[in-house]
Chain A
């Protein structure tokens, strides 16, 4: 056989990583369809926020049980993936447990810890599956979770179960081969969990064991490469995007909405023509947002970062009282529309061809937008600082300023402000009337 396995491994690795890089390129181009967002100031606070929210998962503790189990899965995946370095080196060099001779007892400790973590991850994932499928927790059964989102969530859990089992089975068969002192299988590692699996394999002849060990080994690394490439198509992308998403999140008080500076110039010209020295050159193409092109790139990254946990929708006062609005759906719709636009661009050689669709109406209805109380509960609830409310507000701005399509009562409110400086039809001269009221 010679170097054939090494060669196959190299090809597999190159395809896996190559495809991943291609998709990350697509992701980046997709996100950059959005407008500039600034948010490069105050690097220190940004790093701190990223470390606290993404790395430290500080907001996951709000739900202590789910939060701790999530932490186990997260730590499990990061730590067990250290093992990947060795697996990749073994694959390329044709070695087996290449680090073992260098690390000695510490190697045994590492493999033992990975096994314990793998076991904990398995437990957590099974719990997550049960919670999602048996306990019928409300936020997992909202209308927007029907179909692919539900399947996606389950697929991720199955992926994780299979990968952990493969890892443990790989170790179990390896341990048996070590016991039988088969050449190439050096005495290394400790197997606190997988040794419970060895009885299943102990009766097998060595040839079958060798075959199975290889199958598990290849399936494990193959599965990881597959999972890596699944991310781009899945809500699970949050494991990567949580980091940039928190870094580029809004640092200002939640109540501060974006103040449009181009409108400022225009308003200044109307109110104080003497103040503006130069005529307003900046032409405003469009107010607010009706499609993904009008949103900022950070808002588009938000959409890809969302893992559809529904903590936002769970606390939304509109959703809680049976309105159509679901902040999670706003994010999911934005991602779906963005993907549609990206595919359109890819098919049409990088140039978007109008498909007579947009985010507004085709995905998000005005009814949803007008149900928002701008209370920021959704923004507060998101563990990775996604801001569904900013999209809602941008789309409202489009409805009002481009289409004059506000609900009638709001038009009345606004004309009151315009005419008499209050949202109600009172005479501004009566503003001090209360002093004399009884």
Chain B
């Protein structure tokens, strides 16, 4: 099945507007693992005939990693350019699969003049189900033990704890919580620009520590809702030699698979 991915520019040429812009993010665009999440989400958007568009080559880094690394100047350069692009298209609603983009677009862009309704893809998928546009069949994951890792910038930072969990529950799966979850959920180790550098000397890698917590639940699947968490946890499970037994899946991938998309 080929994907329908209109860009805002192409829609504008046809005189059309998109209801919602899918902000793909850098990981979702370039990282091999994250691209699969992007595609899974688009499959659901196509399946539900959701009128959306992407920015394509007009999208640029939200500036989040620059800001967390301490480069406020570069962050604002990125943000102001993105705001100019989004405003030129009259964008009002944005959905993104990346909690880091989600957080900065939602919380930090307004002060720079960018005012949009920003939702995370787990919230968006939940609303599709509530509207009745998306049906989720339990089949594939029925009875499977799934644990959910809260991305810091989605959970603690923006208090989105239930939307991803509600989606997992729709799969008729057995949702098991880790010792530290929700507001107390431990970090995967990628945030604050750590993704792009070696860790400081210590006794353990942060992602290994979090993977161990996830493995304690005896889950077959570790669900995540962030491309960076997915990478970190995948590396963690590999490090433990458990990649055959434990899969790391974004919630969007679970929903897409459950619907045979």
Contact = CB atoms under 8 A, between A and B. Distances in A.
A261 B76 CA distance: 10
Interface in B111-163: 111-112, 152-153, 156-159
B51 interface: no
A422 interface: yes
A377 B73 contact: no
B74 A414 contact: yes
Contacts of B206: 317-318, 320-321, 373
Contacts of A3: none
18 contacts: A255-B152, A255-B153, A255-B157, A271-B80, A288-B72, A321-B202, A321-B208, A325-B200, A367-B200, A371-B202, A372-B192, A375-B186, A401-B71, A413-B196, A421-B59, A421-B61, A432-B54, A435-B42
B80 A267 contact: yes
Nearest to A321: B204
A327 to B, nearest CB: 13
Interface in A386-438: 393, 396-401, 406-407, 409-410, 412-414, 417-418, 421-424, 426, 428-435, 437
A322 B204 contact: yes
Which 10 interchain pairs have the tightest Cβ spacing? A255-B157, A322-B203, A374-B192, A396-B70, A421-B60, A256-B107, A400-B70, A322-B202, A375-B187, A255-B103
Nearest to A379: B156
B201 interface: yes
Given A253-B159, A321-B206, 8 more contacts: A256-B107, A318-B206, A376-B157, A399-B70, A410-B197, A418-B77, A421-B78, A426-B29
A375 B72 contact: no
B11 interface: no
Contacts of A322: 201-204
A96 interface: no
Contacts of B61: 417, 421-423
Interface of B: 3, 5, 7, 24, 26, 28-31, 35, 38-39, 42, 54-57, 59-61, 63, 65-74, 76-78, 80-81, 84, 103-104, 106-108, 111-112, 152-153, 156-159, 180, 183-184, 186-187, 189-206, 208-210
A288 to B, nearest CB: 7
B196 A428 contact: no
Interface residues of A, number: 69
Interface of A: 252-257, 259-261, 263-264, 266-268, 270-272, 287-288, 315, 317-318, 320-325, 367, 370-377, 380-381, 393, 396-401, 406-407, 409-410, 412-414, 417-418, 421-424, 426, 428-435, 437
B191 A375 contact: yes
A422 B183 CA distance: 30
Contacts of A263: 72-73, 76
Contacts of B210: 317
Contacts of A370: 197, 200
B108 A264 contact: no
Contacts of A254: 156-158
A254 to B, nearest CB: 5
Given A375-B192, A432-B5, A437-B35, A417 B159 contact: no
Nearest to A410: B69
Contacts of A271: 77, 80-81, 84
B204 A253 contact: no
A409 B199 CA distance: 11
B192 A373 contact: yes
B152 A376 contact: yes
Given A255-B153, A325-B200, A371-B200, A413 B193 contact: yes
B11 to A, nearest CB: 14
Nearest to B193: A410
A400 B198 CA distance: 17
A253 B118 CA distance: 14
Contacts of A253: 103, 106-107, 157-159
B197 A323 contact: no
A38 to B, nearest CB: 12
A268 B84 CA distance: 11
A435 B157 CA distance: 31
Contact of A324 (B63, B103, B195, B200): B200
Nearest to B203: A322
A434 B74 contact: no
A373 B185 CA distance: 13
Contacts of A377: 152, 156, 184, 186-187
B28 to A, nearest CB: 8
A255 B68 CA distance: 10
Contact of A417 (B65, B68, B194, B195): B65
Contacts of B80: 264, 267-268, 271-272
A351 B112 CA distance: 37
Nearest to A365: B200
